[in-house]
Amino acid sequence: MGRALACVLASALALTGCGDDSPGEGGGTDAGAPVGMDAGPTTPPPGGEDAGEGFACPGAMPPPVDPDLLPDCDLCENAKCVPSSFVPEDQRELLADCGEGGLCVPIDLVETGGEVLLDTCASVGGAEGRCVSLCLPDAAAQADRLPTEGCDSGEVCVPCYDPTTGEDTGACTQGCDPGPTDPPPTIEGCCGGLGACLGADVVPAEQVDLLGPDTCSMEGTLCVPSDLADPSFTPPTCRSVADAEGRCVPACLPSVADQADLLPQADCAEGHLCAPCFDPTSGESTGACTLNGDMPSEPPVTFDRCCGDLGACVPSDAVPADQRDQLGADSCEGEGLLCAPDSLIAGTAPDACRSLADAEGRCLPTCLPDVAAQADLLPRGSCAAAHRCVPCFDPTTGDSTGSCELNGDMPTEPPVTFDSCCGGIGLCVPSASVPADQRDLLGPDTCTDSGALCAPSDLIDPTYTPPTCRSLGDAEGRCTPACLPSVAAQADRLPRSTCDPDYLCAPCFDPTTGDRTGSCDLNGDMPAEPPFVFAGCCENDRGVARSRCVPESLVPPDDRDALPEDTCMAGELCVPDPILADMSYSFPSCTTGGLLFGGDPGACIPDCMVGGFEGLFLRRTSCAAGELCAPCIDPLSGSPSGACR
């Protein structure tokens, strides 16, 4: 996404010289020559040390009127107000009007009849130049851009060649001047042929920050668009972002180039883009419509705010195509609008931060859909409020997340990925990165780092819902990673069903209580069938079942002989509730009583688990109501009875 739409534009350097530089007789210029009286033939000045020291050319005719008889011109220093009839008609427009039909002419031109040799000086960028009087409006208009060193008071040093075009300014071919001794500068083009590469010392200081090197190859040069080199230029009007008023400005300007994907070309010429008069995110002037006296004619057009006032509702066609999928509508109302955070519109790179596993990351607003979906997993770190630290690389795959490649940014560290666990289908994630309500569902599995939990990759995906399967008693279930502690504890009884390896089919409801197990509640999932519970058995004297009828296939073979059928159907065994809840459960210890088993170690088991002749000799002793103390070792066979395992 790019820099804020702030194209603060101003006129670039434009040196127009002393007038029209059309060729004239004698190798100089006619309309471009310093203005003076009509004069007769002239001869070249002598060489030597006096050349270029501001004296009249040899052979110059005396002036047609005594300068002392002419009134002083108050518009500039050392000038006389000369009747316009004494000035060649084609040069009158180059002079300032001093009233009553007179024109303001520098005194040295009056005294020599226009045949004067101007002093040599060093102009902009050290280029060869001549000292020209500020009485000439063209020179006065550029007084703040031209040096004065080496010239008299009231003069500026005009270069022999325009440094923006290399064209002859006419300043060094006036009177009997033999012309410049230095060759014209070589001007490198830029801005797609719309500009010139100029030294930074040639560009006004207040404009340096507005320009960039573009394609300029010489060190220290900046690309100055030709349009902006004209101090009278005002850009054409156009319709910009959101149909707001704008101006056609060169696309090579850095502030415009950074927004090239956002700004329309509209009806602008090739190499130009339509920059709005006002920043649509803040309403502040961009400067695009205030160049050289230009002014906007319409009020600001601003985008609605979104992202908790951290972004703006931007038309999708004003968003770079490769960034649209990263944005969402958020609170934006209206077709085709996307919520673009200000930081992305501004073209700046996000702040750096430390993300998951202390990996390199960037601070991104939580209104971005991808960030919002994982806000509970991502740390805030050093980021501002309503931001999360998104890692540069996905810690599960090592692939780039794109968070460190916005607006020219690049990651500086290699990918950091989590160790695998759960048979290769999980990752060792810092517990702090796991939502608090999910931490109790996870365990360390094979993770060795302190505080790490094994998070199955499926569960890390906020859009994942497990496949449906048939669980205990043919009840509805979901394929759940077998490494989850609650599933691992039931691994001997849960079927794999249609699930992939390393998964088991966990029921949506606990078949012993009817309570939801959570297996069917992940990421908006819901059970489609009512709860299934095993039938009760082993009722106490109040008719309350203390066990459940479980398919014999779900009972470990070694335990089957110790469990009765009671009232269960064929193929089912009556399993006590404590064992259903925990397969490692052991019945409470006791000491047997009675004639046959008196004093032997035993365990308190439900009375329905024993019956017939054996049950007649068991006593309750210290056991609870409905329980009998069964010996750990059968005294008749000497083998374990199963009561104490």
Which run of H or E residues covers position 546? Answer: strand 545-551
Say how far apart CA 77 and CA 95 lie, in whole Å.
14
Residue 377 or 244, more confident: 244
Q: Which residues contact 532 (CB under 8 A, 6 or more apart)?
A: 472, 473, 474, 475, 476, 507, 509, 511
Quick one: average pLDDT of 391-407? Answer: 90
Tokens representing 564?
A: 């009765």
**Which letter does DSSP use for residue 392 in this model?**
S
Tokens representing 637?
A: 């066979």
Q: Contacts for 607-613 with beta carbons within 8 Å, 24 or more apart?
A: 608/537, 608/538, 608/546, 608/547, 608/564, 608/566, 608/574, 609/538, 609/562, 609/563, 609/564, 609/574, 609/576, 611/564
Where does the pLDDT of residue 33 fall: very low under 50, low under 70, confident under 90, or very high at 90 and above? very low
**Percent of the chain residues past pLDDT 70, beyond the cut:** 89
- For position 16, what pLDDT does the model report? 34
**Whether residue 30 is found in the same domain as residue 142:** yes
End of a domain among 368, 385, 408?
408
Q: Which residues contact 327 (CB under 8 A, 6 or more apart)?
A: 319, 338, 339, 340, 368, 369
Helix (H) and strand (E) counts in the chain: 13, 30
Q: What is the pLDDT of residues 152-179, one digit of tens each?
A: 999 999 999 988 778 898 899 888 888 9
Q: Phi, psi (5° rounding) for residue 107?
A: -60, -35
- For position 209, what pLDDT does the model report? 79
- For position 61, what pLDDT does the model report? 67
Q: What is the pLDDT of residues 443-476, one digit of tens each?
A: 999 999 888 999 998 887 778 899 999 998 899 9
The answer to whether 72 and 79 have CB atoms below 8 angstroms apart is: yes
- For position 144, what pLDDT does the model report? 80
Could you tell me how far CA 54 lies from the centroid of its own chain? 61
Say how far apart CA 415 and CA 394 lie, in whole Å.
8
Say how far apart CA 241 and CA 634 lie, in whole Å.
91
Say how far apart CA 162 and CA 18 lie, in whole Å.
11
Say how far apart CA 307 and CA 328 lie, in whole Å.
10
Q: Which residues contact 414 (CB under 8 A, 6 or more apart)?
A: none
Q: Return mean pLDDT, the chain.
A: 83
In a domain, 174, yes or no: no
The answer to whether 147 and 123 have CB atoms below 8 angstroms apart is: yes
Question: Shortest CA distance to 624 belongs to which of 551, 546, 567?
Answer: 546
**Percent of the chain residues past pLDDT 90, beyond the cut:** 38
In a domain, 33, yes or no: yes
Split into its structural domains, the chain has a count of 7
Say how far apart CA 598 and CA 173 lie, in whole Å.
135
End of a domain among 408, 437, 463?
408
Following CA atoms 616, 617, 621, 625 in sequence, which dihedral angle do they give, to the nearest 10 degrees? -20
Quick one: average pLDDT of 291-306? Answer: 91
**Whether residue 321 is found in the same domain as residue 260:** no
Q: Picking from 433-442, 522-531, 543-552, which range would have the lowest pLDDT averaged per residue?
A: 433-442
Highest mean pLDDT among 12-16, 97-101, 194-198, 363-367: 363-367
Residue 91 or 350, more confident: 350
For residue 307, pLDDT over 70 is answered with yes
- For position 595, what pLDDT does the model report? 66
Show the domain range for 449: 421-524
In a domain, 166, yes or no: no
- For position 291, what pLDDT does the model report? 83
The answer to whether 508 and 475 have CB atoms below 8 angstroms apart is: yes
**Whether residue 195 is found in the same domain as residue 138:** no
Say how far apart CA 117 and CA 172 lie, in whole Å.
9
In a domain, 644, yes or no: no
- For position 203, what pLDDT does the model report? 75
- For position 447, what pLDDT does the model report? 93
Question: Shortest CA distance to 254 belongs to which of 9, 62, 607?
Answer: 9
Say how far apart CA 46 and CA 102 lie, in whole Å.
34
Tokens representing 240?
A: 């910009």
The answer to whether 347 and 407 have CB atoms below 8 angstroms apart is: yes
**Whether residue 501 is found in the same domain as residue 548:** no
The answer to whether 423 and 502 have CB atoms below 8 angstroms apart is: yes
- For position 206, what pLDDT does the model report? 66
**Whether residue 31 is found in the same domain as residue 154:** yes
Residue 501, Cβ density class (10 Å: 0-12 exposed, 13-18 middle, ≥19 buried): exposed
End of a domain among 361, 386, 408?
408
DSSP string covering 237-258 = EEE-GGG-EEEEEETTSHHHHT
Where does the pLDDT of residue 497 fall: very low under 50, low under 70, confident under 90, or very high at 90 and above? very high
Where does the pLDDT of residue 266 fall: very low under 50, low under 70, confident under 90, or very high at 90 and above? very high
**Whether residue 29 is found in the same domain as residue 137:** yes
Say how far apart CA 302 and CA 242 lie, in whole Å.
8
In a domain, 263, yes or no: yes
**Whether residue 276 is found in the same domain as residue 328:** no
In a domain, 595, yes or no: yes
**Whether residue 53 is found in the same domain as residue 149:** yes
Tokens representing 344?
A: 């992305």
* Residue 144 CB-half CA count within 13 A: 9
**Whether residue 221 is found in the same domain as residue 241:** no
**Whether residue 398 is found in the same domain as residue 320:** yes
In terms of DSSP bridges, do strands 468-470 and 305-306 run parallel, antiparallel, or are they unpaired? Answer: unpaired
Please, what sign has the CA dihedral across residues 478, 479, 480, 483?
A: positive
**Whether residue 358 is found in the same domain as residue 394:** yes
Say how far apart CA 638 and CA 463 lie, in whole Å.
58
In a domain, 450, yes or no: yes
- For position 55, what pLDDT does the model report? 63
For residue 5, pLDDT over 60 is answered with no
Question: Shortest CA distance to 277 belongs to which of 301, 309, 308, 306?
Answer: 301
Q: What is the pLDDT of residues 97-144, one digit of tens each?
A: 988 779 999 888 888 877 888 999 999 878 899 999 998 888 888 888
Please, what sign has the CA dihedral across residues 153, 155, 160, 166?
A: positive
For residue 43, pLDDT over 60 is answered with no
Q: Picking from 220-229, 296-305, 395-404, 608-617, which range would have the lowest pLDDT averaged per residue?
A: 608-617
Say how far apart CA 492 and CA 506 lie, in whole Å.
12
**Whether residue 217 is found in the same domain as residue 141:** no
- For position 268, what pLDDT does the model report? 95
In a domain, 15, yes or no: no
- For position 13, what pLDDT does the model report? 29
Q: What is the pLDDT of residues 580-629, one digit of tens each?
A: 877 778 899 999 887 667 788 999 999 888 866 566 778 888 999 889 99
For residue 52, pLDDT over 50 is answered with no
Residue 42 or 287, more confident: 287
Q: Which residues contact 637 (CB under 8 A, 6 or more apart)?
A: none
Quick one: average pLDDT of 196-217? Answer: 82
- For position 27, what pLDDT does the model report? 35
- For position 458, what pLDDT does the model report? 84
The CA-atom distances, in angstroms, between 524 and each of 291, 462, 520, 521, 527 are: 57, 10, 9, 6, 10
Please, what sign has the CA dihedral across residues 195, 196, 200, 206?
A: negative
- For position 387, what pLDDT does the model report? 95
